[in-house]
Amino acid sequence: MDTNNSLYRPPAPHPYTEGTGDFDGVETNLLKHLPEELYKADVVDISTSDRTNYLVNDPDLISVIFEEKPEIFVKAEGMIELLRPLLGDHPIVTSNNRCLDQRDMIRPIGTMRTQQVNFEHIQDSIGRFSDYCEEIRNENRVIDLSLLLRRLNADIAYRMLFSNELPKDVFKEINSHARDFELRISQLIRETAEQGVAWQLPKLPQTAMYAAQQLRYLVSMLIDGNIQSNSFSHHSFLHKFLIARSPETNIPFTRKQLIDHVTTILNSQELAAAVLMWAFFVLSQCPEAKQKIREEVRKVAGHDDIHFEQLSRLRYTRNVFREILRLYPPIPHLTRRASRPLKLGKLDLQEGTQITVSPWIVHRHKQYWFNPDRFDPERYMRKDQHIIMKSFLPFGRGLRMCTGASSAILQGTLILARIVSKFDIDILNADKVEPEGVLFLEPTRPIVCKVTPV
């Protein structure tokens, strides 16, 4: 067993050690109120007066919930439901048969050829991003790291969807509406927690609904404009959405479903940017890890561009990205509901019982990980990797696992490899950074940085 405690401990609240914790009337950051017992037990009863709820950490039981019996453990009305006004009936927020049909329709999108085309889009976006970083450096500007990476990831998503570079004015509109919607939801969740109903689903205010409607309207205009100009390639996501047919009925996506999928892809880049933000933050505090990435890139690609077939050889860089996904999973908890009575391990579940699976807790569980709070990319190279991966679920798992998981790993690995090789991102307020688990996992305040060339 590895007992090295000298590894870097990235920012995270320490477990709450007094008593068993209380989720009613908490302050703004729920992560601060997670009791220590949650990080040690296989199953914990976290029921409230009006709802039976079990927190499940056991990897085998998680496999039953997500992989073996997903038709029984349907999506519950968790916080992810608050995204429905924005994402519509996308499979992320639904669990009916039509949801499964849509997943079958979009599954062919993830072909090797599509990944290769998207690889070139990512390369082009990083090239444009590098030019922007040079501008920032020449002007000696201080910038919000999250904003910097949202711009990069939004451009990647736009190129994948429409085969074109994202116009600056379109990014401003997308970013404005998406951030307005998410910030209003986050504030609503904080207020709900402070009122002593932390697990109760709040009602969205009209301001959040309006922001969602504005973004969906913008997406519909982008779809129409690109269809009219016919400038997208047959490898683009838009083209593949347009020709997709249900395996059961041969019916295409409705216009609303098309908007759901395009909006979800654009919005998912907010999560991708958040993971990269934590990655660059951690690397700024771990110069030895940064140097290992640079040495690996030089060994694999020399001073040339990285090619698609070389990505599999960037093992350390990929493991850095995996370790960031473990320490900072984009969505801190997932909820399911038992649709009928059944036995789960030693639990006798009644119909309607809620099950909570928290990637944040499972990824930092004392029984399943060595030095769980430490940044250790090399843990994935050890003999116990198969055990580790059973407790690794940053994208969910099974039937409703994020369909872009493999692409996200590819994208994150390539971005880290190229940006770390070329730039240093120096964090200026590292001592004030702390993660907050609201709807997504974000810092409690903006992370500000300077960009300098290597």
Q: Give the H/E segment covering residue 327.
A: helix 315-327
Closest to 243 (Cα-Cα) out of 253, 228, 233:
253
Q: Is 5 exposed, middle or buried (0-12, 13-18, 19+ CB in 10 A)?
A: exposed
Scanning the structure block, which residue is given the tokens 């119909």?
Answer: 351
- DSSP 8-class letter at 230: T
Q: Give the H/E segment covering residue 435.
A: strand 435-437
Which residues are CB-contacts of 422 (< 8 A; sequence separation ≥ 6)? 130, 133, 453, 454
Answer yes or no: is 286 a known binding residue.
no
Q: Give the H/E segment covering residue 101.
A: helix 97-106
Q: What are the structure tokens assigned to 240, written together?
A: 């593949």
**What 3 state SS string does 274-294 have?**
HHHHHHHHHHHHCHHHHHHHH
Which of left, alpha, beta for 3 (phi over 0: left; psi -120 to 50: alpha)?
alpha
Which residues are CB-contacts of 36 (< 8 A; sequence separation ≥ 6)? 15, 16, 17
Core vs surface per residue 326-360: b (16+ CB within 10 A) or e: bbbbbbbbbbbbbeeebebeebebeeebbbbbbbb
Q: Give the H/E segment covering residue 222.
A: helix 206-229
Scanning the structure block, which residue is given the tokens 């060994």?
Answer: 299
Scanning the structure block, which residue is given the tokens 């077939």?
Answer: 309
Q: Residues within the annotated binding site?
A: 402
Q: Residues within the annotated binding site for heme?
A: 402
